[in-house]
Amino acid sequence: MNAVVQLAILETKMFFRDRLSVFWTFLFPVVMIWLFGSMFVGNEMNGLTFAEQFVPSWIGVNIVTTSFFTLGTVLASYRETGVLRRYQSTPLQPWKILVAHTVQGTVIFIFSAILLMIFGMWMYGLSLPDYIGSTLLALLISILAFFPFALFLTSLAKNTQAAAAISSLFLNVMLFLSGATFPIAFMPEVLQFVAKLLPLYYVINLLRGTWNEAPISSYGVEVGILLGISVVSILLASRFFRWSGK
């Protein structure tokens, strides 16, 4: 167990040593909220204020960026540069590596979520989630679905560039089509259907819902789908874990 704790702590420290990833993870979402805020603030949609809509959805988007970039792409680079290969010749088991990185990702995500929430409260008068226990549970389920999902998808990449390309593709598609930035209701029917194929759509429904409207028990479909993705991805990610690109 000691190895998992050590690895998680070290990886978290190293994340903060890399200024670029700190910018993309922490400041970029804040800047985006601020930009969208300058356009949309004051326009209520479905009875929700700007911050009630956008802060929970950008917290959802941050789960995607953390899982694909902080976890997936980094592990792909470790695979390419031989960091994982080095681990292979120690008694460290693969699941410990995956757990340690998941813990690290969770810690970083929690920081970014708190930062976004505080920014929303300070700039746009956002209030704490109405069903705070439900929101926390929803976050946990979303993390459990997305982290292994991204770890599996990026492990298919041959190198770091390919992993980054996969990650950017998923992030951009989900950013625009899952209702995080543009309301789904404004989209043509085909795209509305596509949105429902994207896991982020369910994360955003769950987060917005528990933040503003109802406890998690009213979102059985979302919870079910996300748990399903989670189980399948965990199985795939551990079954197809690779130490090196060869």
Instruction: Catalog residues that contact another protein under the rule CB under 8 A.
Output: 2-3, 6-7, 10-11, 13-14, 17-18, 78, 81-83, 85-93, 243
Under 8 Å between Cβ of 147 and 62 = no
Q: How far apart are CA 87 and CA 90, in angstroms?
A: 5
Nearer to another protein, 63 or 97 (CB): 97
Shortest gap between Cβ of 78 and another protein (angstroms)?
7
Q: Apex CA 110: angle with CA 107 and CA 113, to 5°?
A: 155
Shortest gap between Cβ of 118 and another protein (angstroms)?
28
Nearer to another protein, 97 or 229 (CB): 97
Nearer to another protein, 56 or 105 (CB): 105
Nearer to another protein, 43 or 90 (CB): 90
Shortest gap between Cβ of 101 and another protein (angstroms)?
12
Shortest gap between Cβ of 233 and another protein (angstroms)?
25
Nearer to another protein, 16 or 186 (CB): 16
Phi/psi at 66 (5° precision): -60, -45
Nearer to another protein, 46 or 93 (CB): 93
Residue showing tokens 């693969």: 94
Nearer to another protein, 36 or 85 (CB): 85
Shortest gap between Cβ of 242 and another protein (angstroms)?
12
Q: How far apart are CA 139 and CA 53, in angstroms?
A: 16
Shortest gap between Cβ of 19 and another protein (angstroms)?
11
Shortest gap between Cβ of 1 and another protein (angstroms)?
10
